[in-house]
Amino acid sequence: MNLGENIKIARKRAGVTQKELAERLQVYQKDISRWENNVLVPSAITLAKICKELDASADEILELCGKEENEE
């Protein structure tokens, strides 16, 4: 998995749409899409806000990013 996929998984698990998350973070919906599709990477501050809004820890989202690479 990668950061974008992990954000998407956390968002869906929280039952939040891209539009709703964008409104909560005060960003454009296209930014959410770009993060989830790995076109852009959110800043550390924005990542912290994402985690708060989705009730997910940064460790949870970031740890999943490295698991597959470390297991090989």
pLDDT at 3: 93
Q: Helix or strand or coil: residue 26?
A: coil
Residue 11 pLDDT more than 50?
A: yes
pTM (2 d.p.): 0.83
pLDDT at 72: 46
- CATH class of this structure's domain 3-65: mainly alpha
Residue 13 pLDDT more than 60?
A: yes
pLDDT tens digits, one per residue of 20-70: 999 999 999 999 999 999 999 999 999 999 999 999 998 888 875 555 544
Domain residue extents for the chain? 3-65
Are 29 and 40 in contact by the 8 Å Cβ rule? The answer is: no
